Chain A
Amino acid sequence: MTAIAERTAPAGPGLGVQARWAVTDTLTITRRNLLVWMRVPAYLVFTVVQPVIFVLMFRYVFGGAIRVVGVPGGYVNYLMPGIIAQTAAFACFGTAIALAQELKKGVIDRLRSMPMARSAVLTGRLLADTLRMLVTILIVLAVGYAVGFRFSNGVVPAIAMVALAVLFGLAIACISAFTGLAIGDEESVQAFGLIWIFPLTFLSSAFVQISTMPGWLQAFANNQPVTYTVNAMRALALGHLPVWDNLWKSLAWLAAIFIVFIPLSVRAYKRASSR
């Protein structure tokens, strides 16, 4: 045993080099994930075509029957911030499924047996998902503009609205990454995801005004994070209501989600990959 203690430790890379590697490894994993995304038509359909169909359906099928009060520009302007929040939530759905797949196939084992930064597997995926989400949001916004949506509160609040949507999407991604890692099998992840994401987005102010819901449902819909987030996004986009009241509640919710689910995801990742 003394022989081991006396032997000089291997000359590992210094802290500066390690920090640089953490960044380049993250970018390499990001690149890899974006390449995969572009190669699988189903992913593109799921993240781009589906939200576009939602825009068209709500705008032209349900839109005529839904009346909203006190929103400049009518239902299309009410709808778009809601659709964008939902798009952000759905875009991150893939996070859970992809992580479950990679664990099962041994891809994560391969990566973890290599001298790369171990954190890059997660950070690279989050960065790729963020970029993907941003692309999807911009496409949906373009479609929104084509069917009559207009920002009416200036450029900076419009950018802030997109940023809030991305932040919201990332919060959903953290929950989704945790469920993906904890459950570990793709089909269950998919089924479970639908169970919580659908009610959360539909039982909110995303598509209809909460005042039209029955009283018992209003109690839930009025106090959940999607409603605060969508209301803040709408106020940023249209300027018809004060922003802060909803924005701070939205940010508080999102912060709480990050505080709870980032450590849970990291722990689930460590546990799942060391079985």
Chain B
Amino acid sequence: MADGRPAILVEGLTKSFGEVHALRGIDLSVPHGTVLGVLGPNGAGKTTAVRILTTLLEPDGGHAEVDGYDVVREAAAVRRSIGLAGQSAAIQEELTGRENLEIIGRLYHLSWPQARSRATELLEQFDLTDAADRAAKTYSGGMQRRLDLAASLVGKPRVLFLDEPTTGLDPRSRLGMWDIIRTLVARGTTILLTTQYLDEADELADEIVVIDHGLVIAAGTAEELKGRAGGDVVEFTVPDRSRVGDAAAAVATLGEPHADPETGVVSVGVGGRGSDALVDAVRALDAAGLVTRGLALRRPSLDDVFLTLTGHAAEEEELGKEAGEVGGGRRRGARRRERAAS
């Protein structure tokens, strides 16, 4: 319904599960044809928001509409406008890629010939034609996720919800997924994308909102948010991990340092003082007799923004919370190290 209303409009949305306040009154507005990146650690409320907007869950309070339709009173109309691809590939692994898409097509009330041609079209678009008649359980993780995304597009949605579409994917599949998402946007689809990866939001989103503990704590473009992180960052690595703490203390005069004892990376926001701060950092570290590598001044990343806004790194909290889920935690832990190393 392109009657001047945004594709997604959320006002004061709240939802609690018993004592847990998953959403404590969030507002969102997403114009047609744009991408909103919803950023936040696990448990921040991202998935709850997506479940309400896709009519899977009823809110406790507030108002939400998608494509001009109220998600509670006009849920059936909302379902005709949306597509949903979740964190895990919601496909039937025993069936082939083609069968999966044909069945979804039938459930969108396409005729058999229509469902077949739509499946063929999507398999081609997502580079799955060669694997189309193999059981989906033989697919790689990236292929399964592509099939899942294809399934969410069978009904030609005007608004697409992607809940952590690249979580658990290897870097190459991730880049492939980004390309697909860009293509969809170019065709005019509105996308709400949740992610824990700051670079992903930076790369794909027109606007970003940061959610933490059920509240929107910041909103704006990636550049605006970076501006709020307090300007430039001095960053260096301490090869001797036992001296990371000393190094952080040495540069504490410049700003509030953040040190990662695991990787030896120390960063400190230095505001607008730029190269002066860099010189100060060199002197302070030298005076403390510390050896460092890769000392440099850089523009803030969204990671820095997150740190500034929430007081914790995006993935730290998540690792702590998911300690029970050994597989996922380990995988994301590996990703984190890999990202830190690069």
Contacts and interface: CB of A to CB of B under 8 A. Distances in A.
Interface of A: 4, 7, 9-10, 12, 21, 24-25, 28-29, 31-32, 35-36, 39-40, 105-107, 109-116, 120, 273-275
A28 B94 CA distance: 16
Interface string B56-78: 11100000010011100010110
B151 interface: yes
Contact of A106 (B87, B103, B135): B87
Given A21-B109, A107-B92, A109-B90, A114 B76 contact: no
A134 to B, nearest CB: 21
B92 A4 contact: no
Contact size range, B: 35 or more
Given A113-B55, A114-B104, A106 B74 contact: no
A229 B127 CA distance: 54
Nearest to B104: A114
B94 A111 contact: no
Given A25-B107, A114-B155, A116-B107, A107 B90 contact: yes
B56 A106 contact: no
B79 A32 contact: no
A110 B95 contact: no
Given A10-B69, A32-B95, A39-B94, A113 B76 contact: no
Contacts of A40: 94
B109 to A, nearest CB: 6
B108 A114 contact: yes
A4 to B, nearest CB: 7
B99 interface: yes
B312 interface: no
Name, among A28, A31, A113, the residue most crowded by chain B CB atoms within 10 Å (CB to CB): A113
Contacts of A9: 74, 77
A115 to B, nearest CB: 4
Interface in B220-241: none
A7 B79 CA distance: 18
Contacts of B88: 105-106
Given A36-B95, A107-B90, A115 B79 contact: yes
Interface in B243-283: none
Contacts of A109: 51, 54, 56, 84, 86, 90
A111 B155 CA distance: 12
A12 B76 contact: yes
Nearest to A17: B109
Contacts of B99: 32, 35
A127 to B, nearest CB: 15
Contact of B54 (A4, A113, A116, A273): A113
A120 to B, nearest CB: 8
Given A25-B107, A107-B90, A115-B76, 5 more contacts: A105-B89, A109-B51, A109-B86, A113-B79, A274-B56
Q: Which 4 A-B pairs have the closest CB atoms?
A: A106-B90, A10-B77, A110-B90, A39-B94
A113 B80 CA distance: 9
A106 B152 CA distance: 13
Contacts of B74: 9-10
Nearest to A37: B94
B57 A28 contact: no
A101 B77 CA distance: 28
A120 B103 CA distance: 13
Contact of B80 (A21, A29, A107, A115): A115
B220 to A, nearest CB: 27
Contacts of A28: 103, 106-107
B1 to A, nearest CB: 8
Interface string B102-127: 01101111000000000000000000
Given A9-B74, A39-B135, A109-B84, A114 B95 contact: no
Contacts of B152: 110
B84 A113 contact: yes
